[in-house]
Structure 1
């Protein structure tokens, strides 16, 4: 199985999404603690190396952290600059965002960045323009959620891609009455292990190597990336209380047990390493 990390500052990104600021200082201490928790987990699994999809602003404000992750042998890949929702942006702005983030990440890591994942898996799929920008700058993309190899093949053809490898995250129904779930993120830690087991089995049956994605805040139980009531106050009392409570699903519920739950899957499936080194194994169309 593959493990990848969407390495972002959720507190910073939430403030942008909620209109509280355009940008500001990152919680760099929290990012360091998040990486250290992930690295401790990986060391317990024999020192595995994985892929970190990093936002460009981390390379801008904490280049030493990106350099340290790279020095530990992990792959640095791109996760946009400000965790932008790409399908809400014009094509020219997406081009600027990708170029800025890639340049900053490569400078901090001191190596080429060849992989990309769109924040929230949101990238325009109604036409090929945004995907062609990704193809121009990167060797592979992991922004697609798919439930079958045929779906991946049809999408690749529809986008007219020639060189860009697609490394999708498996998505399928796993809980009766709920929409299809991705294999990873908050779904992985919030639901019982049997839900992830169904998704893993479904991925294998569909011809995918299981690929779990997680975030640094999910490896911490300290609330390092939570927005406090005072930070949410400009939203008004009702929205302030709503978002204060809503954050528990990301920062509290299931976080303490995540390493043990993830470790059980790793002990059975193993870890496949960095995506850049294993494109054929991670690309369902390569079989």
Structure 2
């Protein structure tokens, strides 16, 4: 099996962390930094021959920066949905999830002037214990990429348990790659923090399991300037201990390993080849289609 998919969870980390920490409900995005992140991603893709990929975008970006969403779409990339706010959906009622998905899809389609057919839950957090939230996803989208799985059998069992009939499942592979650690996802911080051989093991595991390798990343991982970090002043309402914790935690996401990410990702892409937009390659990205 050849090729790999790259998808981007396109979100404003600073806005979303402030919301997670209850420092605000919402506020202005760091729009200049989002543009900077997209340009870094586009520079990487141009070096891979101008590959086009899928961007899972939050709806709040479409509300506050519709020109950015329009620009990403105009460059030939797929605009998919990453909910409206970057909230953990499994803490919400199904009706609230349905409303949030409808709001986000409407905003994204208006900004992109394209149909939005794909969805990924923020942090992959959607209720997987019952079908109600997945039914809301199935009503609005053609495919979902919110599942982490290690085998085709696991994907098939989950699809049956959720009672899905039309929704395609495009999972991110999760496998054992570092002795003594829990299974890791193929992408995100794991890709930049661990040595290249760990990514190689995850890719090999995905292929052996019958998955086309699918790497997910974020715009802040393509930058090493800390452009999306919250400052001491922004974290001050949390108190000194939590302030220090989040200052330290952010460094892991925004600085450690970021400078080397393009080379590490580029090696994978040059070896495997990039498979393009998910919406154009549903059979290749869906392990149940084989």
Give the TM-score band, short-chain normalised.
over 0.9
Per-residue deviation at 1:173? Answer: 1.2
| Equivalent position SS for 2:6 | strand
The answer to whether structure 1 residue 115 and structure 2 residue 121 are counterparts is: no
Structure 2 match to 1:229: 232
Structure 2 match to 1:242: 245
The answer to whether structure 1 residue 158 and structure 2 residue 131 are counterparts is: no
TM-score by length of 1: 1.00
1:213-260 CA-partner distances (Å, limit 9, x unpaired):
000000001111000000000000110011011101111001001000
Structure 2 match to 1:180: 183
1:15-42 CA-partner distances (Å, limit 9, x unpaired):
0111100000000000000000000000
Query: Which of 235, 240, 257 matches 1:254?
Result: 257
1:71-109 CA-partner distances (Å, limit 9, x unpaired):
000000000011110000011110110000000000000
Structure 2 match to 1:149: 152
Unaligned runs of 5+ residues in structure 1 are: none
Aligned equivalents of 2:32 and 2:181: distance in 1?
A: 36
Superposition map of 1:1-287 within 5 A = 1-287=4-290
Unaligned runs of 5+ residues in structure 2 are: none
Equivalent pairs counted in the alignment come to: 287
Aligned equivalents of 2:50 and 2:249: distance in 1?
A: 34
Per-residue deviation at 1:262? Answer: 0.3
Contact map agreement 2:20 2:87 (CA 8 A) in 1: no
1:35-89 CA-partner distances (Å, limit 9, x unpaired):
0000000000000000000000000000000000000000000000111100000
| Equivalent position SS for 2:276 | coil
Per-residue deviation at 1:176? Answer: 1.1
Aligned equivalents of 1:93 and 1:176: distance in 2?
A: 40
Aligned equivalents of 2:180 and 2:20: distance in 1?
A: 29
Aligned equivalents of 2:122 and 2:95: distance in 1?
A: 18
Aligned equivalents of 1:13 and 1:174: distance in 2?
A: 30
TM-score by length of 2: 0.99
Aligned equivalents of 1:143 and 1:126: distance in 2?
A: 13
Moved over 2 A (4+): none
Aligned equivalents of 1:117 and 1:135: distance in 2?
A: 12
Per-residue deviation at 1:177? Answer: 1.2
Aligned equivalents of 1:125 and 1:50: distance in 2?
A: 27
